[in-house]
A and B are shown apart, each in its own frame.
Chain A
Amino acid sequence: MAERERSHTRPRGSVFVPRAQVMSAADVHRAITRMAHEIIERNRGLEQVVLIGLQTGGVAIAERLAGTLSELEGTDVPVGTLDVAFYRDDIGLRPVLPEAATDISFDLTGTTVVLVDDVLFTGRTIRAALNALGEYGRAQVVELAVMVDRGHRELPIRPDYVGKNLPTSRDEMVDVSEDGVAIGDLVSR
């Protein structure tokens, strides 16, 4: 996972070398359970709530959140995926490629959208996501859920649901996968 962030941090072909495990798979599971409870609590249920996972790291987390929400409330929450490449503000400055086509098969007008991503860093991906979302209807409310908030924001964006606040230095990499969360470095091959 964290493929999107990795591919934006060229040179391509560099590999993530973990230095420390900061969340285990069980920690991630517990964080997802807590965030699901918080989503239900804040929105007083799940009426009008839809989840949109950001390609690619946010997609698996959105699906896991949806599974937990469905267990807790007994209702299915629509899940979509969003790729923000065409809305980024660094097109032409560095290589930007879409990871997969956006798939939102429902109208967002009037819904409460919970954007889901694995790592929140500068906030620029979320800025692009907010622009992209508008193409699929006018959401009533947009909230943000991230597994890791690693700081270093460059835009006035803050998450509503956080798995873990993780202080990092700018040049470190955070990798979120099924096995948990690791912090490490990007090393060119």
Chain B
Amino acid sequence: MSPFPTHLLSMDDLGADEIAEVLAVTDSFAEVGRRANPKVPTLRGRTVATLFFEDSTRTRMSFETAAKRMSADVLSFAAGSSSVNKGESLRDTVETVAAIGIDAVIIRHGSSGVPARVAGWVDHCTVINAGDGWHQHPTQALLDLYTVRQALGGGDRGLSGFAGLRVVIVGDIRHSRVARSQVWAYAALGAEVTLVAPATLLPPSLEGWPVAAVTQDLDDVLPKADVVSLLRVQSERGSGRFVPSLREYTAGYGLTARRAALLQPGALILHPGPIVRGVEIASDVAELPAALITEQVSNGVAIRMAVLFLLLGQGPVEGAHRG
């Protein structure tokens, strides 16, 4: 295996081997999570800071839980949202964090590319992208892969199950950092990705995207799908303005009870959360055994433990350029 990268900024940073490594290590951390005392001394003495410039419940809690379960010290920055923006003020904040001697910064920002900028400013500090603008949200894609691998039988058997797996990603692709991470993650493992979205919610260009097909007809692709991955209609990013109405969106792209019945047995339903019931997914459908939304959240902690461990716990690798 090539050395694990220094930062996790984008799914582009990880090839198929690194993804396999993350998923294998996640198995071990999932076992830790099942114990009566789910805590290991692995990152004792390390300090991790969450630097969130945008609202988040599950990602922030998930990262902080992951770090604490590994005995790292966690600093939680209340980055007073709107007043802090790109430019000097962000740089000052980050340099302060680096000067304090923090080992890893977990950053979420409304602007694409901020984690990459930050990674260029700091020495001896690992940067993890917890979601930047429309760009990337790599740990979300990794936990999706882990959840699917688990459903496919786990271990290497689950991993080989990705070859030719038909994955349908439905919804606001345009504004979705989750979709951008997912597409590359699934493609890296050999899955066949189809995007389903109204033309207004597709990115201006799909050039270079490793997707097999793009369609507006959800009913057509559902019967052949192995995995249906839904995206939230992101009102805060204005997705609502790109469709005539939410009712119309649901009519064309919502996973309603009628559409769920088109799925083949064994097909899986994923959603990164938070779900907006009745818009992109019907309430009853979200409760189906095929819907792995709760599993995704539980797996999120183990995935983030694995990512922190692989980024912080590996020490100097011969021949690698770190820091």
Given contacts A92-B312, A101-B27, contact A131 B41 (CB under 8 A): yes
A87: which B residues are within 8 A, CB to CB? 40-42
The interface centre, meaning the residue of B37, B70, B315, B317 with most chain A CB atoms within 10 A of its CB, is B315
A85: which B residues are within 8 A, CB to CB? 28
B24, closest chain A residue (CB): A98
Q: Is the interface of B mostly helix, strand, loop or mixed?
A: loop
Whether A152 is near chain B, meaning CB under 8 Å from some CB there, is: no
Given contacts A10-B318, A11-B318, contact A91 B27 (CB under 8 A): no
Interface residues of B (CB under 8 A from A): 1, 21, 24-25, 27-28, 30-32, 35-37, 40-43, 46, 70, 309, 312-319
Partner of B313, one of A12, A96, A103, A136: A96
- What is the CB-to-nearest-CB distance from A74 to chain B, in angstroms, rounded to a whole number? 32
Partner of A86, one of B21, B42, B46, B318: B42
B31 with A95: CB separation less than 8 A: no
B26, closest chain A residue (CB): A101
B31, closest chain A residue (CB): A101
The interface centre, meaning the residue of A90, A91, A102 with most chain B CB atoms within 10 A of its CB, is A91
B315 with A92: CB separation less than 8 A: yes
Partner of B42, one of A91, A95, A101, A103: A91
Given contacts A86-B40, A93-B316, A100-B27, 14 further A-B contacts (CB under 8 A): A11-B319, A86-B28, A86-B41, A86-B42, A86-B309, A91-B315, A92-B314, A95-B314, A95-B315, A98-B24, A98-B28, A101-B30, A102-B28, A136-B35
A10: which B residues are within 8 A, CB to CB? 317-318
A96, closest chain B residue (CB): B313
3 pairs of A and B residues whose beta carbons are closest in the complex: A98-B28, A86-B40, A101-B31
Whether A135 is near chain B, meaning CB under 8 Å from some CB there, is: yes
B313: which A residues are within 8 A, CB to CB? 91-92, 96
